A and B are shown apart, each in its own frame.
Chain A
Amino acid sequence: AQSVTQLDSQVPVFEEAPVELRCNYSSSVSVYLFWYVQYPNQGLQLLLKYLSGSTLVKGINGFEAEFNKSQTSFHLRKPSVHISDTAEYFCAVREMDSSYKLIFGSGTRLLVRP
């Protein structure tokens, strides 16, 4: 069975500093990988996705993530964060032979301080 692990429940960082949010997954088959963001009192929004091709994918708001198959990781990065990036970030995976089932990690709260 597939699973997603986000080890950091909260990541505090100062404004304009770089940040990395970690995501590791487990699956016996090939997967698609995603990052979603949830701003306070809102539903989730797709931030970026890896389906195939280049292992470095760029998303909205200056975020990017790198797929590392050997380490089964898909870490999210941003070189300089803003106060407005404060939100909950969820990593998710979907097995290639499963059309509908997204498995989410437990989330990482990014807290950007001035």
Chain B
Amino acid sequence: NAGVTQTPKFRILKIGQSMTLQCTQDMNHNYMYWYRQDPGMGLKLIYYSVGAGITDKGEVPNGYNVSRSTTEDFPLRLELAAPSQTSVYFCASSRAGENEKLFFGSGTQLSVL
């Protein structure tokens, strides 16, 4: 059972480039989330989704977009990368009725230079 899978694990972008961080889960969880983790700052919620076709903003959505066309996949899109988006990104999912128990992927370390 793979759980939550994120790709890529590492990526370096130039300012202004775009990319998509992939996230897929095989646990049939309704809820999925994207967090970013900055050093000494804890995790901040970027976007979340309560089911296919439904997404909503979290605490720090600016500069990002998401889509949820299937239950399994929840990609995060950076359109115009900026140095402030250098961070570690975590995708997570949870089961309906157990939203406090998040299952996390292993993260994507992104550097924007």
Query: Could you tell me which A residues sit within 8 Å of B by CB distance?
Result: 4, 6, 9, 32, 34, 36, 41-46, 49, 51, 90, 94, 99-102, 104-107
A91 — nearest CB in chain B belongs to which residue? B42
Q: Looking at the complex, which one of A41, A42, A90, A100 makes contact with B43 (CB distance below 8 Å)?
A: A90
- CB of B42 within 8 A of CB of A102, answer no
- CB of B42 within 8 A of CB of A45, answer no
How does the 8 Å CB contact mask read for B25-65 relative to A, with 1 for contact and 0 for none? Answer: 00000010101000011111100101000000010000000
Q: Which residues of A contact B44 (CB under 8 A)?
A: 104
How does the 8 Å CB contact mask read for B60-104 relative to A, with 1 for contact and 0 for none? Answer: 000000000000000000000000000000101000000111111
Q: Which residues of A contact B101 (CB under 8 A)?
A: 46, 49
B: contact size bracket: 20 to 34
Tell me the interface secondary structure of chain A in the complex: loop
Q: Which residues of B contact A94 (CB under 8 A)?
A: 99-100
| Docked complex Cα distance between A46 and B31 (Å) | 16
Q: How far is the CB of B99 from chain A (nearest CB, A)?
A: 6
Q: How far is the CB of A4 from chain B (nearest CB, A)?
A: 7
